[in-house]
Structure 1
Amino acid sequence: MIAGEDELAALAHTLITDKRRLTKAERDLVSTEITFTEAELAEHREAIRAGGDPLGEAFCSIRSPEVRRGQGATYTPPAIVNAMISWASGEETEPVRIVDPGAGSGRFIAAAARAFPQAALVAVEIDPLATLILRANATILGFVERLTVAIKDYRDFALPRVDGPTLFVGNPPYVRHHDIERSRKTWFTEAARSFGFPASGLAGLHIHFFLRTRQIARPGDYGAFITAAEWLDVNYGSVLRKMLADGLGGASLHVIDPKARPFTDALTTGAITCFRVGKRPAHFTMRTVDSLDQLTPMTAGQAVDWPTIEAAPRWSIFVRHGAPEHRSDEIELGELFRVHRGQVTGCNAVWIEGPQARALPPRFLYPAVTKARDLLAAGVSLADPAALKKVIDLPVDIETLPADELKAVKAFLKWARKMEANKGFVATHRRAWWSVGLREPAPILCTYMARRSPAFVRNRAGARHLNIAHGLYPVQPMSDAALDEIARHLNETASMASGRTYAGGLVKFEPGEVSRLRIPDMSSFGATA
């Protein structure tokens, strides 16, 4: 068993026979004091030749998922790698070059080397420890002479022209926008707009990699990337949806249920996107698979014409189980309810009741759902407001308050300023920084994010809700019996597949996704009050 990164680097270095290609960054990782027996080296060579990735597995074991997520280093299971390379093998023209952005230990490059024995291989990877492992694998598998390793950010990578198609294949790193530098967000925005695409600073690194591919790819090139599936619906994913409808040439989409573990150490919905640059087919083939053994062949799926896809604000409706076909006696929840996420306080430590609120007038303290557990513990009905914390919600115009109340409010606001509650983004964008602006109580509340399907709870306590929950507000008067029946139906039928699954198994339901849940039509409920 490999003990740490020093030993892993030394082992990879030892397995590399031609060390002239190594960069200074790679050499600096190696401790020459660590040695290995011939038996140990032979064991690793045998495992690699048998199709394994023992060094890559050691890398994932030594460096925790939490650390690797900082660079988006999530390694891909062989079943997915093989399915994607198999799809590429079925294209009309063999590639003369394969490019893997974010190559890691080289799983895609190794599979492509076997499938296309004449192609040049280009691995782009920012982590020198991963490139050492990749070079060791290439040495043992015999494709090192046609391999080029670029230790750099893919967004800075330039690709010379070649006579023939390039295959782009891999698992672009998933890094959330919070961890992307401002200068890189500026690059993304400017690059997207140069193609006429919408751009958002909220886009993750995997979307940046798609855009860089669009920049450097040529008509006739093709590719397949596996990423998290959230881009299908979120606003910042629109740039990728536009790219696929435009010059990137979307060919097919294969969404993988999170229970199939498309990413080894993250319970996340995966999406394999296949594209043909400059040669968009008339239809985009789309499907969902429950297990990895259903991936091959990646020609299966429902053919959806592009005008239909381009008119849809979200694409998940085309790939969910059973979608887009529905029973004729069903409607979308959004036809009966407006779904609103709860209010953002901007500083829960100030606005959720504590000792600081003791002198405030009770009429400004509202029982509220402040955490998902409030709803999960309530079951089908939230009946007792005494079990909830209270949120401070002051009026915008405090100067009209009676003198005794105004004195207490101003004393509280003086303390709140010391806590800098008046300086946050949310506070500075309110009509008055001290007025949270809670919504009226919703008759049905539902959880926003959990490791389970959403819980729908009747709000008999008249509770307000923060942004950890959604409120369902009827668009017309509705009887208590109808509300009870709708909540019951939603609890029985809503599934995790209707939301978006993120790393760690969290399933998120945005208001739009809740609005699209199916329920029986109004006549089933005797709905009006």
Structure 2
Amino acid sequence: MTRPDATGSRRADLAALCLGLLDGAEGADGLSAEEQDLAAAGTCPTEDVVAATRDLVLAGGDPLGDAYRQVVPPEGRRALGQTYTPASIIEAMTAWAADHGRPVRVVDPGCGSGRFTLAAATVFPGADVVACDVDPLATLMTRASTHVMGLSERVEVVLGDYRELRLDAVDGPTLFIGNPPFVRHHGIAPRWKAWLTETARAWGLHPSALAGLHIHFFLATARLARPGDFGVFVTSSEWLDVQYGRMLRELLLGPFAAYSVHVLDPEAVPFADALVTGAITCFTVGEALPGVLMRPVRGVEELGRLGQGCEIPRDRLAAASRWSVFVRDTPPPPEGYIELGELVRVHRGAVTGANRVWVAWAQDLDLPRRVLFPSVTRARELFAAGDALEDDSALKVVIDLPVDLDVLDPAERRQVNRFLRYARTQHADQGYVASRRRAWYSVGLREPAPVLATYMARRPPAFVRNRVGARHINIAHGLYPREPLPSHVLDNLALYLRSAVTSSQGRIYAGGLAKFEPREMERLPVPTLASLARGDFS
């Protein structure tokens, strides 16, 4: 039996297929106006396609979700944070939930095509299910699949924002289970950022406007949950370490308590449609737990039961600014290798606080040459440089004024004063970064690093010899030898790093974005100094 042909189809055609699975007009009675309009705009499928799709649903497949991933390309799904969870992860999550309790209600936030909804409704036949999503096609797919499976009477599908969901009181525990959407803060409306700030502060938490949508969903769940409830979410793992994940870490150490956290290895690729390091977080509400079970998982097949891991006391987690250290499995360097940090210190470049003011083309400025520093200001400049940066003519300059302007001669001081008047009109003296400097107008560039490295891209880092003494801002790291190293050793070091370092050695975020913090880069294995000096490494 063939799958429905989704190649070249449109969202409306898929919606029309969902309507066909709902038995046409008869099943459309409970649909919202948005869902009805979307389905009405599509081409009615043939009876054979409807029958084939129904058989696939009955066989345990997700033909609608599979078709959706063909209809909507990854960049289109990214706007709504849609990633589709493989069955093996869903099975592990529902198994933990079944081990933990018997809910009378299940809530699936961001239900997508209904994978978690159907799994939970099957595992917990006595529970009602609430499935919520902002996408009318997602809610149509969930309605269609639950109808085919004969679960419609127990499943309430809500088209709306999960942060606005309200739940009636029930006599028994609620299970929250799913894959909250991953949308970065750039895609979140200001009113919802304000919602996060207000709600988090009411809970005594430290919010950040940089938080992604999955963190919003955790907070919304905490508002809905009552003592005795429990849940398990799979999300990106970046909240373990980043500053804007602090709120979630605090939340999980309170009454809304983390039970266990399982971090999937980047090479496991838990989501077929997104390269991202995943974390499965099990939580309970109102339980006084002494610690949190934490473990790294090398592959989805190793998930097993989610009740295992190394117990980390909650006070240790509360004192830690990053949680990945508790799951990091960093083996010692192999024989004949050392950590990069034994040879160099890795420093991120200076933060200007206002690139539009402090970064410019030299020919556009009327300033003394001695305050203009050719600098790497975009990662692409290092990727384009290849092995070495040999020419700084294509680089912009960073304006780095001395803290003590009295060192300038009168003519230079007049030039600088004119520039500072302009900088004030751009409010460069009022930002957070400027307020933390000794002098708001002095960027404080580091000395040139002999090796420059990118640290965030959807590809391995570039390691480039800096032969022109260019400075760098915070889009790159500088590698600074702890002791003076000969030029040929630095050449060999950069050569080795270019050939050996892979993206998987960093932290993988949504879309396959790999990031290397300075200390993480310092842990990279490299040949010994003697080997680098001889150049006898492969």
Is 1:467 the counterpart of 2:474 in the alignment? yes
- Percent identity of paired positions between Structure 1 and Structure 2: 46
Deviation string, structure 1 residues 141-190 (Cα, Å, up to 9, x no partner): 11111011122211111112212211110011111122222222222122
Change (3 A) 1:479 1:435: closer
* Greater mean alpha carbon deviation, residues 394-403 or residues 305-314: 394-403
Do residues 124 (structure 1) and 164 (structure 2) align? Answer: no
What whole-Å deviation, never above 9, does each CA across 1:122-148 have from its counterpart, x for those lacking one?
A: 101111221111100011011111011
Aligned to 1:395: 401
Question: Who is 2:247 aligned against?
Answer: 239
Shift of 1:43: 0.6
* Larger deviation, residues 187-196 vs 107-116: 187-196
Structure 1 residues 520 and 279 mapped into 2: Cα distance closer, same or farther (>3 Å)? farther
Choose 183-192 or 146-155, whichever is displaced more.
Answer: 183-192
Q: 1:122 to 1:306 in 2, by over 3 A?
A: same
Match of residue 114, structure 1, among 111, 122, 136: 122
Q: Any conservation in 1 of the 2:197–2:208 contact (CA below 8 Å)?
A: yes
- With over 3 angstroms needed to count, the CA separation of the structure-2 counterparts of 1:332 and 1:242, relative to structure 1, is farther
**CA displacement 1:347-378 (0-9 Å, x = unmatched):** 46983326524x65443432322333444566
What whole-Å deviation, never above 9, does each CA across 1:448-477 have from its counterpart, x for those lacking one?
Answer: 212344445554532200221023457xx6
Q: Pick from 480, 487, 497: which aligns with 2:485?
A: 480
Is the 8 Å Cα contact of residues 347 and 421 (structure 1) preserved in structure 2?
A: no
Equivalent in the alignment of 1:179: 187
Secondary structure of 2:252's counterpart equals helix
Residue 155 (structure 2) aligns with: 147
Mapped to 1, the partners of 2:159 and 2:196 lie a distance apart of: 21
Tell whether the 8 Å contact from 1:251 to 1:280 is kept in structure 2 after alignment.
Answer: no
**Partner in structure 1 of residue 312 of structure 2:** 304
SS at match of 2:304: coil
| Counterpart contact for 2:173–2:229, Cα < 8 Å | yes
Task: Determine which of 304, 321, 325 is the counterpart of 1:317.
Answer: 325
Of 427, 430, 447 in structure 1, the residue corresponding to residue 454 of structure 2 is: 447
Which deviates the most, 175-184 or 264-273? 175-184
In structure 1, C-alpha distance between the alignment counterparts of 2:41 and 2:528, rounded to whole Å:
72
Contact 2:264/2:296 (8 A) holds in 1: yes
Q: Paired residue for 2:276, among 268, 273, 285?
A: 268
Give the 3 Å change call, closer, same or farther, for CA 344–422 of structure 1 in structure 2: closer
Residue of 210, 214, 225 corresponding to 1:206: 214
1:295 aligns with 2:300: no
Equivalent residue letter for 1:229: S
Q: Supply the distance in 1 between the matched residues of 2:342 and 2:247 (Cα, whole angstroms).
A: 26
Please give the alpha-carbon distance, in whole angstroms, between the structure 1 residues aligned to 2:129 and 2:263.
Answer: 27
- Residues 1:190 and 2:190 aligned together: no
Q: Give me the whole-angstrom Cα distance separating, in 2, the residues matched to 1:520 and 1:106.
A: 50
Partner residue in 1 for 2:536: none
Give the Cα–Cα distance (whole angstroms) in 1 for the partners of residues 219 and 249 of structure 2: 11
Which letter does structure 2 place at the counterpart of 1:479?
P
Deviation at 1:234, TM superposition (A): 0.6
Query: Deviations along 1:474-527, whole A, 9 cap, x unmatched?
Result: 7xx62225984987887788654453212332211234544666889999999x
Amino acid in structure 2 at the alignment position of 1:27: Q
User: Cα RMSD between the aligned structures?
Assistant: 3.8
Aligned length: 519
Which letter does structure 2 place at the counterpart of 1:56? G
Report whether the alignment pairs 1:58 with 2:58. no
Q: Secondary structure at the match of 2:276?
A: coil
Instruction: Please give the alpha-carbon distance, in whole angstroms, between the structure 2 residues aligned to 1:237 and 1:334.
Output: 30
Give 1:80 deviation, angstroms. 1.7
Aligned pair partner of 2:20 in 14, 21, 42: 14
Counterpart check, 1:78 vs 2:87:
yes
- C-alpha distance in structure 2 between counterparts of 1:33 and 1:178, whole Å: 32
Paired amino acid for 1:4:
R
Q: Which residue of structure 1 lines up, in the alignment, with residue 511 of structure 2?
A: 504
CA deviations on 1:51-94 (whole Å, 9 max, x unpaired) are 22122222222223222222222222222222211221222x21
For structure 2, list consecutive stretches of 5 or more residues without a partner in the other structure: 534-538
- Partner of 2:176, secondary structure, is strand
Distance 2:501 2:318 in 1: 27
Amino acid at match of 2:119: A
Cα deviation, 1:415-444, whole Å, max 9, x if unaligned, reads: 9999x6969968986888876543332344
Q: Structure 1 48/203 Cα, relative in aligned 2: closer, same or farther at 3 Å?
A: same
Amino acid at match of 2:83: T
Query: Which is worse superposed, 65-74 or 131-140?
Result: 65-74
Q: Deviations over 1:280-311 (max 9, x none)?
A: 54332222223322222333433323233222
Question: SS of 1:95's equivalent?
Answer: coil
Partners in 1 of 2:296 and 2:433 — Cα distance? 42
Aligned to 1:369: 376
Separation in 1, partners of 2:457, 2:379: 8
TM-fit CA distance, 1:117: 1.3
Structure 1: unaligned runs, 5 residues or longer: none
Cα contact 1:333–1:519 (8 A) shared by 2: no
Instruction: Output the amino acid matched with 1:463.
Output: A
- Evaluate the alpha carbon distance shift between residue 301 and residue 326 of structure 1 in structure 2; reply closer, same or farther with a 3 A threshold: farther
Q: Pick from 342, 353, 362 the counterpart of residue 361 of structure 2.
A: 353
TM-score, normalised to structure 1, is 0.84
Judging changes above 3 Å, is the alpha-carbon distance between structure 1 residues 122 and 521 closer, same or farther for their aligned structure 2 residues? same
Paired amino acid for 1:58: A
- How many angstroms apart in 1 are the aligned matches of 2:22 and 2:160? 21
Query: Counterparts of 2:223 and 2:342 in 1: how far apart (Å)?
Result: 39
Indicate how the Cα distance of structure 1 residues 198 and 403 shifts in structure 2: closer, same or farther if over 3 A, else same.
Answer: closer
- Report the Cα distance in structure 2 between the residues aligned to 1:245 and 1:33, rounded to whole angstroms: 48
SS in 2 for 1:197: coil
What is the identity, as a one-letter code, of the residue corresponding to 1:97? R
TM-score by length of 2: 0.83
